[in-house]
Each structure stands twice: as C-alpha cells, then as structure tokens.
Amino acid sequence: MVVAGLVCQEVGASLAVLLFPAVGPLGIVSLRLGFSAILLVLIARPRVRGYGRAAWRSVIGFGLVLALMNGLFYLALERLPLGVTVTIEVLGPLVLSVVAARRASAWLWAGLALVGVIALAGGGWDRLDPLGVLFALGAASSWAFYILASAGVGRQFPRLDGLALAMVIGAVVALPWGLIAAGGALLRVDLLALGAAVAVLSSTIPYALELLALRRLAASAFAILMSLAPATATLAGWLLLGQDMTWLEIVGIALVIAASMGAVRTASVRTGTVAEGTDAAPAEPLP
C-alpha cells in the first residue's frame, strides 16, 4: 500500500510536469489544492464552530505552509528532474529527524545525506539549475515546518477536520497566483479534468492507502518505506518524462535514501517506537 501510494504520487507529479506548458507550476498548485480541498471537505465535513483563536491561528498557519510548500515544489520541478527535486525536498524531514533524535550518531546520517547531495552533481553542476535548487531547498524547509504544523493542528482538531480546513485556506491563497500565471486556461474543461486527476493521484489515493497501511505497520516502518520516495520519483521521471540520470546522481539519491532510513531508525530508538501498527494519520504525502 505504501509503495502503491508513492507510485501514485509520482505519476501525479509527472502529469503535473506535462501540464506546465499550459498552466505553469503555480496554475498546477491552484488546481491541485483546489480539488484536494473540495475532496477533503466532502470526506471530512469539518465543523467550523467551537474552536478558539489559538486553534484558528494554527490551522491558518498550516494552510499557508501548505500553499508555500506546494508552490516551491512545483517551481523546482519546472527546472529540475523529478528525482532530484524529491531527493532535495526529503532533506527537510531528514534534518528534522536528526535534530529530534538528539543523538550524536544521528549526525552521521546528516553527513551521509550531504555526501549524497554532493553526488547529485555527478553529471555536472550545470545540470542543476541554481534557482531550481533554491526552490527545492525552500520546499524542503517548508515540509519540515509542515510536519510541525500538522502535529499542532492534529492536537486541536478531530480526525481530518484540521487538514480539510487548512487545505481550503491553502487553495484560497494559491488561487490568485494561479490566475496570474495561467489566466483563463484554468477554466478550460480539459485542464480542470487533468488538474483533478493530479489532485486525486497526488493526494487522495496516497493518503487513503497510507491510512490503511498505518493500521498494519509500525510508524517507524512506515517512515522508512516513505524514505523510498526519491527512488520512485527517479523511476517515474525516467519512465514517464524521459529524464535520464547519471550513475553518480543515482548513487547520490541512494545515499540520501539510506541517510533518511538511518535517521528514522535513530529517532525511533530514542522515542521508543513500538512494533505495533497505529491508527495515527500520516503527514500529508509529498507534494
């Protein structure tokens, strides 16, 4: 289920890349967040009354981070291969895991990840658009903040209510930027249908599969499997978008995956993660 969810995410990302000439990356962000918000509201039917100011501040911040994270990810994806973009973005949660572990050994994984990032330039730094790398690093930082914001909202809102409300806020924030970038193209029926497909493939299906998987997997095992995202992204970029990678770049991605898995294991040992499944909701899938 986890692997199937990862595959759906990257197929959705590949479809988004194919739509860039028509609506641009910010247009895709508007379509994805808009349709994701509609689907989540229909599924969760969140109530909007009975919450204090602190709860609303949390959910508004969550929505802003959602919009920023998705915007930076797709802006990076416009300039970098899918596998490279996802690999750089994974650095955000990886660094967060290293810091949370508070163990000297955890920094070994950070060092391994750094070696992996350096290896990504195996085909030459000229292959990596500098602005694209900055966007990807911004997405990585946003994902780390997303995880922290998600935990706070999860404590204050039941079930999926917080995520649904935050998605609506993110969609409202992203809409003006999408209209500026894509204009009337956002109203074309064919592009609306493809935008809905991106939302379903990138969010709805992976989220449902991850919820089911978490009932059968330990949280630590789930996190380790999610570390395979750069590999599935690289494979999707090669198969669906024709994005070739050098051997050294592939080695770099493998090192980042290994570092991510090691960081998760180190963090789970510190927090005493048990080996039973859990019904806890996962963080939002990769953008």
Q: What pLDDT does 217 receive?
A: 77
Matching residue, tokens 């709805």: 204
CA distances from 37 to 63, 69, 87, 189, 212 (A): 11, 15, 26, 19, 21
Nearest C-alpha neighbor of 84 from the set 55, 124, 56: 124
pLDDT of residue 165 exceeding 70, the answer is yes
pLDDT digits (tens, 9 = 90+) for 233-268: 989 999 999 988 888 888 888 988 888 888 777 766
Which range is most confident: 22-36, 119-133, 247-261? 22-36
Q: How far is CA 272 from the centre of its chain?
A: 26
Q: Do residues 204 and 44 make contact, with C-beta atoms less than 8 angstroms apart?
A: no
Domain residue spans of the chain: 2-271
275 pLDDT band (50/70/90 cuts)?
A: very low
| Residue 83, token pair as written in the block | 């596998």
Q: Which amino acid is at 169?
A: I
Q: What pLDDT does 268 receive?
A: 63
